[in-house]
Chains A and B, each alone.
Chain A
Amino acid sequence: MKIFPLTLLPNDANINFMRLRWASITLAALLMFGAIGAMAFKGFNYALDFTGGALVEVRTDQPVDIDDIRKDLGKQGYDSAQVQTYGSGNELLVRLQPREGESSTQATTHAKEAVTRALTTAGATNPHILRSEFVGPQIGRELARNGAYALAFVVIGFLFYIAFRFQRKFALAAIIATLHDVVVVAGWFAITGHEFDLTVLAGVLSVMGYSINDTIVVFDRVRENFRGMRASPYEVLNKSVNQTLSRTVITSFVAFLTVLALYIYGGGSLRGMAESQIIGIIVGTLSSIFVACPLLLWFGVTKQDLLPKAQDEAALARRP
């Protein structure tokens, strides 16, 4: 009798993931170094939030030529203005640095005037400012610092929590897998040159939550199996990954669908965040299977690591 009508994976999955451990860890390491290299040599395309400067978003009745706009802005004293088009080509996003000697009070007013003037010169009718921003340079520095604090907080928090609920080796393996995911997602933004703004930073940090969540579920099963199975760590790990495989795939698939909805329907401001989460969910799922568990094996996890009794005996032995 077939009681389950729909399955994404065979119920009795028995893939030997651990045999692939050297290949998978090497691949993960390569990905990570590639991402770090991209961040170091190419760097991020930081958004206004981090660099400071002025931004104007305009809508016009018909598409305009962005080269004309850029040239005209150059003539008005904005040399390195970035002009992008959105939507059907009639929405423009202009980023520029304030002109020399301009006070923060005047920066946006002047930027708005310059953009409107450039658009009118380019023949656009009815330019209409949707949004304008000015961010001072000190804000960006603070954001970067807070981002680093948040990262440190999460890493230390995870380490302590997992070490407390599981064991040190689990904590280390989980943290490495999670940091791998964060680095790869950040590296993706460095390689593609997609804009890195505040919401992307939030996306990257929430990827940590997602990725660790995935790893913990597998580890939880590992812990359970270590207690209940008489088998080598190699077999226990393989069995645990296989047992949780369908859950891992389904959860990730649904999470992927929800973030996809965000990417498709959320509009420009949320696209970066959704993108970071899409990549993060894919990488996070793979890393919990292919990185976290092999690492655990590599660190030499044993049944004794998880038996509270063993620790009690050690404590007893220390007593006089």
Chain B
Amino acid sequence: MLTFPRWKYFAILLVLILSTLYALPNAYPLDPSVQVTAARAGGVAIDKALRDRVAAELTKAHITADSVAIESKDNLLVRLPDPNVQTRAADMLRPLLGGDYVVALSLAPTAPKWLDWFGAKPMPRGLDLQGGVHFAMEVDQKAAIDKRMDAFQEDIRATFREKRILYSSVSRTGPATIGITLKEGADNDKAQNELRRMFPTYQVGGEATRLAITVPDAGLRQLATEAIEQNLTTLRNRVNNLGVAEPVIQRQGTDRVVIQLPGLQDTAEAKRQIGATATLEFRAVVGDEAQAAAALADNRVPPDARIYYDQFHRPLLLSKRLLVSGDQLVNAVPGIDAQRGVPNVSITLDSTGGQRMLDHTIDNVGNRLGIVYVERIPETKIVDGKEVHSSRIDERVISSSTIQGVFGKDFQTTGLSREEAQSLAKQLKAGALAAPMSFVEERVVGPSLGAENVKRGTTAVLYSFLFALGFFLLYYRMFGLITCLSLLLNLLMVIAVMSLPFIGATMSLPGFAGLALTVGMSVDANVLINERIREELRAGMPPQAAIATGYDRASGTIFDSNMTALLAGLALLLFGTGPLKGFALTMIIGILTSVFTAVTVSRAMATLVYGGRRKPKSIAI
């Protein structure tokens, strides 16, 4: 009557073993450590020579490391006794090793190697548990689209010139439209076909001398998405320069990027690096300084040019046509000009940029080339009690030297101070942002607070378990013990599932709350069963039958009540942000595992104790 299939016992045993295995890595403490990796893939070798050098430097600085070893490929790990020494070691190593290496603070797991063979890893900890910086940045979508629309106009002008389609103007006539006025006698059909070839998914229309291209909503969304994707790449490069062991850079929603930098504390420097919006623009110089001053004086700037200023605020006329922009830059290295001894930046362009530069310099040897340094400085103003984000653009001509010869994708530029050259090279190398971004959220958690949070979280979960277990042992005796064991297995299973790498869960403070709440919610299934058994016993059923009926009858209720609780958890997971997702995930996993432990595992235990041929007269419940 009270029986349980043997294979299910084995299944439970297997679950127990697997859960223990995958939950185990979390039990080992994390070592404060300094991680050294190559700044660029394949740049410098992480080898024994480096290990010895680092070890020697540490000894010289009187820092005793627990170990200095290459623990995985391309990753030198210095394990240190405490966080203070960790910071000191990193600060000491960073300038010594130079820009070819990334020296980052990290927390290294101490779990034994054999656990790694099973892919068992400790759950990554959220910033609230280990300290660090969280940024959310928002892309200025309007500016991103504006920038692309400007580029489209430029492309149209260039193509029309090339195909000899005579036009008198190409200009933006609406938020998503570009209007083109052709000259009398120009071939409208040819122009339309050309535009359709250039923009196959956009609407092209118009007659006689007027043409219009409209970007549909889907196209605008596409442009915005491309901008944020491009920014994501750029941000990854910039964050890599910061030296953080395991940064998280994620797109969130349509216009936001979340950056998490565990272990980092200096937000000012991080923001300067991440939020920098400096880029270079290369434009042909139109006329000389005298002409520029004259144009400014009688307010007659040529239609294809614009007034720019250099650092001494002297005006200069530059072409409106953008020759090469910052996003076509591949590399930039600061150095000293060999002939003149002034600081310079050696620039490498990508192939499109290089080709354009080559085309331009072939025709323009002896003419001047202007390099404009553009920096976008975000500003927040309060207008009528509302916060308004805007940005000021700081444009400065840093060089307007004569083109000495034909060049393509490699060349040098001078005219900057040493610091400027270095900072510019760094920013250029990291890439330009496709669209301006502003910080909309910043959270910094100190490492001591993180450690305290871990302690508080574990204490809270521990006590919530103790309270529940204590009550059950007193109240249900033998079945209380069974309930306690299945609750413990439940906890083990939740931690194990959350530690599985593909779940991608991060432990956070709300995650601890989720664990505690899982206990609170999952006891329900056990209580339902135990109360049902009591009820059947009161109704006069023999013990074994009462147990079996109790389990059977409670199952339906357990299913319904857990399904609805699951719905609530799902809503939180779908609509919650950041740490709330962790809370919801813990709750959902907890609900699912609790059904298994309460219905199957506790029944197995009850059958072990009371099943078999000997019929117990009474049961302790």
Contact = CB atoms under 8 A, between A and B. Distances in A.
Interface of A: 1, 3-6, 8, 11, 52, 57, 98, 100-105, 107-109, 128-139, 142-143, 146-147, 149-151, 153-154, 157-158, 161-162, 165, 198-199, 201-202, 205-206, 208-210, 212-214, 216-217, 220-221, 243-244, 246-247, 250-251, 253-262, 264-267, 269-270, 273-274, 277, 281
A8 B362 CA distance: 94
Contact of B267 (A108, A243, A253): A108
Contacts of A134: 439, 441-443
Nearest to A274: B513
Nearest to B452: A267
A202 B521 contact: no
Contacts of B583: 199, 202, 206
B195 to A, nearest CB: 37
A262 B460 contact: yes
Contacts of A8: 475
Nearest to A155: B571
Contact of B453 (A11, A165, A267): A267
A258 B519 contact: yes
Shortest 7 CB-CB contacts between residues of A and residues of B: A209-B568, A136-B440, A255-B520, A258-B464, A261-B463, A261-B464, A267-B456
Given A136-B440, A247-B531, A262 B380 contact: no
Interface of B: 128, 136, 138, 253, 267-268, 271, 275, 377-382, 386-387, 389, 438-446, 448-449, 452-453, 456-457, 459-468, 471-472, 474-475, 477, 509-510, 512-513, 516-517, 519-521, 523-524, 527-528, 531, 534-535, 537-538, 556-557, 560-572, 574-577, 579-580, 583-584, 587, 618, 621
Contacts of B443: 131-134
A119 B393 CA distance: 37
Contacts of B472: 254
A76 B436 CA distance: 31
Given A217-B528, A270-B460, A149 B560 contact: no
A6 B474 CA distance: 8
B380 A265 contact: no
B565 A131 contact: no
Given A105-B378, A108-B442, A157-B571, A266 B512 contact: yes
B520 A100 contact: no
Contact of A266 (B440, B456, B564, B567): B456
B577 A158 contact: no
| Residue among A158, A162, A269 with max Cβ neighbours from chain B (10 Å) | A269
Given A134-B441, A146-B576, A269 B520 contact: no
Contact of A205 (B136, B379, B572): B572
A157 B567 contact: yes
Contacts of A162: 564
Nearest to A245: B531
B453 A133 contact: no
A247 B528 contact: yes
A269 B268 CA distance: 25
A225 to B, nearest CB: 12
A136 B468 contact: no
Contacts of B519: 258
A138 to B, nearest CB: 6
Nearest to B444: A132
29 contacts: A1-B618, A103-B380, A105-B271, A108-B444, A130-B446, A131-B449, A136-B138, A146-B577, A153-B570, A202-B580, A205-B568, A205-B572, A206-B517, A209-B565, A209-B569, A216-B560, A221-B557, A244-B531, A247-B531, A255-B523, A256-B520, A258-B468, A259-B464, A260-B467, A261-B516, A265-B456, A266-B456, A266-B513, A270-B457
Contacts of B579: 198-199
Contacts of A244: 531
B521 A255 contact: yes
A161 B563 contact: yes
Nearest to A100: B382
Contacts of B576: 146, 150, 202
Given A52-B387, A146-B577, A257-B468, A216 B564 contact: yes
Contacts of A136: 136, 138, 387, 438-441
